[in-house]
Chain A
Amino acid sequence: MDAKDILGLPKNALPIQEKKSKPPKETQRKPDGISREVYALTGGLAPLMPSVDVNQLKRKAQSENEKITWQWLPFTNSARKDNLQLYHWVRVVNGVPSTGDYSFAKYNKSVDVIKYTDEEYEKYLVDPAWTKEETDRLFDLCERFDLRFVVIADRFPSSKTVEELKNRFYSVSRAILIARAPSPGDVIVHPLVKEPYNVSQEIERKRALSMVLSHTKQQERRDVEVLAEAKRISEARKAAKAAEEPELPVMADTGHDVTDRAAVAAAAADSISPTPSTQFPSATTANPVSETASVVASLRMLQVYLRSYALEQMVQAASSSAGLRTIKRVEQTLQDLGVNLKPKVPTRAVCAEHLELRKEILTLLSLQKQLQYKEAEGSSYRDGSYAETPGTPPPKRLQRAADLDRTFTPDSLSFGGERVGKRDQKRKGPGRSEAPSSPAQSKRPRKYKASE
């Protein structure tokens, strides 16, 4: 309305057609009780439906037959043992205050902590690590603090860990329960007897929890990757096994069946083969022996194959847990040894030797890595990371790792003989500082061409 005033437009120029009632008249008339602006929020109209049930509003007045007053009265709390009297407002109906206990008293629950006699202590509960006083104190605190062990641990006079306290408490309670029970059958259902407190497990569990809590984002991501890969591998293996099973009883195959199963098995074999994921020093779930077994099964499905193809599959299966970088290193090592990456004469014996050689090279590379890690770990101890690849290692360590590479690889992979040494020196030549401090450079010493 005001806007139209400002604009100088005539009021209500456009008639509103929906409503039968006459809106222009109503908008001009300001309703009582509400300011004009507030009323305008509803669109300048009375609401069609009342938004609040009018009957609800005046419920309070229903009990007008009763007279309600509020009085400041004393009260007692049955949960308290000291007869403290406090005051609060009480709703008094017709002069009669409501009866009954303090409404919050029912929440005062406590734990039944076992009480043992001295006799029982001597008979069942003696323990080398705990004196009687300590045990008594523990039980007293347990009762006072309702088995809140963190609080109890704080207040315990000598410093014992929460797990130790728990262990003592539960083993004592358990012993008493068993001792007092008329027959073992009576008490066997008691949770304490059925599942006793396992202190070492608890310590381990809490340690693991705190480790998980302190995981960096990178570690979390890596865990997810490992789990996904493990799942993939186990599923692939399951598929291969499923493909294997029907093979045995069925002898007179039709062409269809065979090709179908071959596809399944081949797919399983394919999915087992290289997953170019990052490297994990901690082993994945797939082990090489079962990988080759499933490859053999899938090859059998094919009925006829080339031995070179079979070797390829076996090699892939054997290196399935290795990252792309490792595979490249294996191939580099083979070249340095003067061995063809793919045998020129793939007979049964040659293929077997080739496969074994590759596996041994994988072992060699992983041992080298282990050695590197051990050296790196020795120089600075990292809390919380258990033999994982250092994400962003401090430059000092990287320098050392680079030095390690230098001294290791020429030493351990001196297949090329003299040429290698010379090559290294060439690289150390003009313009290059002594110690590289970037990961890219630390890789270089490993790659050298034995023949050019």
Chain B
Amino acid sequence: MLKSSDDSEKKNLARKVKDSEISVPIVYGNIAFWLGKKASEYQSHKWTVYVRGAANEDLGVVIKRASFQLHSSFNNPTRIVESPPFELSESGWGEFEIVITLHFHSDVTDKPLHLYHHLKLYPGDESGSLSTKKPVVVESYDEIVFPEPSEGFLSRVKDHPAVNVPRLPAGVTLPPVPMEDVDKRKRGDTNDHPLSQWFANFSEADELLKLAGARQQVQAHIARLRRQLSLMDGQPPQLKSASDL
């Protein structure tokens, strides 16, 4: 009897919850230090490529492992990181595209997700001012979206800081999930990461403000044009000289 209830529980957990999109804000990119005096021809920079929570939360709640596909000139170009923080450090001289593949826990989804990041080592704009103290940092913000999460997934992460969980649609109750032993798990967040001083802060407020302002302007122009058009419709077609405009 225990077995059958186990099975039905599994089915319940696998059931998808509609209209409850889960999103995980992430930041991925690289930090590169010029090695200065210690730089050799083939090892001029030391760089780290990573994926972190946008507010440095622990992504291990969602991501099982991350693989970083490096340039073929590297030994073992496919590097797999099994636990957070999901990052990889290397030394080299060249810039190339790194494919970061995120594999999620089994209750999340079987499908992997790919991120593409162009490794940047050289500052570009400010030419010549290579410094060993100030690294080159390139970060991109994005959000991983799970449109139809399973009940199990939803209940497991609903209180986790790394995950944005919307208000549940009415009438949906989630099964209880066994509490994880927090102490046993190693810390996967990047709050105290050695490189955290270079992490950027991504705030949507600026962009929202800008967008709202832009929309207002466009809407005003639209209203004006609509008025002009309706005025013109009232008039019969007649010859207008350019000076009238």
A371 close to B (CB within 8 Å): yes
Query: How far does the Cβ of B175 sit from chain A's closest Cβ, in whole Å?
Result: 16
Q: CB-CB < 8 A to B245: which residues of A?
A: 375, 403-404, 407
Q: Does A431 contact B (CB under 8 A)?
A: no
Residues of A within 8 A of B221 (CB): 364, 412-413
Given contacts A300-B148, A346-B141, A347-B143, contact A339 B238 (CB under 8 A): no
Judge if A207 is at the interface, Cβ distance under 8 Å. no
Is A308 within 8 A of B142, CB to CB? Answer: yes
Task: State whether the Cβ of B113 lies closer than 8 Å to any Cβ in chain A.
Answer: yes
A interface: dominant SS: helix
Question: Are B242 and A400 in touch, CB under 8 angstroms?
Answer: yes
- Size class of the contact patch on chain B: 35 or more
Are the CB atoms of A337 and B214 closer together than 8 Å?
A: yes
Interface residues of B in 205-226 (CB under 8 A from A): 206-208, 210-215, 217-219, 221-222, 224-226
B126 within 8 A of A: no
Binds B, one of A81-89, A224-232, A251-259: A251-259
Chain A residues lying within 8 Å of B235, measured Cβ to Cβ, are 378
Beta-carbon contact of A403 and B210 below 8 Å:
no
Return B228 CB to nearest CB of chain A, in Å. 6
Contacts of B184 in A (CB 8 A): none
Which residues from chain A contact B11 at a C-beta distance below 8 Å? 252
CB distance from A310 to the nearest CB of B (A): 6
Interface pair A371/B211, CB less than 8 Å apart: no
**A263 vs chain B, min Cβ distance (A):** 12
CB distance from B162 to the nearest CB of A (A): 15
Chain B positions within 8 Å of A415 at CB level: 217
Judge if B177 is at the interface, Cβ distance under 8 Å: no
Stretch of B35-43, B77-85, B103-111, B189-197 at the chain-chain interface: B103-111
Tell whether B202 is near chain A: CB-to-CB under 8 Å.
yes
The answer to whether B16 has its CB under 8 Å from any CB of chain A is yes
Contact of A353 among B104, B148, B212, B232 (CB under 8 A): B212
A349 at the interface (CB under 8 A from B): yes
**Residue of B14, B23, B218 touching A364 (CB-CB under 8 A):** B218
Decide: A348 near B237, CB < 8 A? Known: A299-B147, A357-B214, A367-B225.
Answer: no
Within 8 Å of chain B (Cβ to Cβ): is A57?
no
Distance from A119 Cβ to chain B, minimum over Cβ atoms (Å): 50
Q: How far is A308 from B245 in the complex, measured between Cα atoms in Å?
A: 43
In the complex the two chains form, is B237's CB within 8 Å of A360's CB? no
A357-B109 in contact (CB<8A): no
Interchain nearest-CB distance for A252 vs B (Å): 7
Q: Which residue of B lies closest to A247 (CB)?
A: B148
> What is the bound-complex CA distance between A415 and B15, given in angstroms?
50
A259 to B111 Cα, complex, angstroms? 9
Whether A289 sits at the interface, judged by CB under 8 Å, is no
Query: Could you tell me if A338 and B214 are in contact, using CB atoms closer than 8 angstroms?
Result: yes
Check A375 against B240 for contact (C-beta < 8 Å): yes
A363: nearest chain-B partner, CB-CB = B222
A364 B222 Cβ-Cβ under 8 A:
yes
**Once the chains bind, are A367 and B222 in contact (CB under 8 Å)?**
yes
Tell me the complex Cα distance, A368–B228, Å: 10
Write out the residue numbers on chain B whose beta carbons fall within 8 Å of the beta carbon of A305: 113, 144-145, 147
Contact B147 A339 (CB under 8 A): no
Residues of A within 8 A of B181 (CB): none
Closest residue on chain A to residue B166 by CB atoms: A348
Chain A neighbourhood of B145, CB < 8 A:
299, 304-307, 310
Is residue A287 contacting chain B, with contact meaning CB distance below 8 A? no
A-facing mask of B233-245, CB < 8 A → 1, else 0? Answer: 1010111101001
Q: Is B5 an interface residue (CB 8 A)?
A: no
A-B residue pairs in contact (CB < 8 Å), sample of 26: A259-B111, A299-B145, A302-B147, A303-B147, A304-B109, A304-B111, A304-B113, A305-B144, A305-B145, A307-B23, A333-B218, A338-B210, A346-B141, A348-B23, A348-B143, A357-B214, A357-B215, A367-B226, A371-B229, A374-B229, A374-B232, A375-B245, A378-B239, A400-B242, A407-B245, A413-B221
List 18 additional A-B contacts (Cβ < 8 Å) besides A305-B113, A345-B207: A252-B11, A255-B110, A303-B109, A303-B148, A306-B115, A307-B145, A338-B214, A343-B207, A345-B203, A348-B23, A350-B208, A353-B211, A353-B212, A364-B218, A364-B225, A374-B232, A375-B232, A379-B240
The 10 A-B residue pairs whose C-beta atoms are closest, nearest first, are: A307-B143, A353-B211, A337-B214, A367-B225, A347-B204, A378-B237, A300-B147, A303-B109, A360-B218, A345-B204
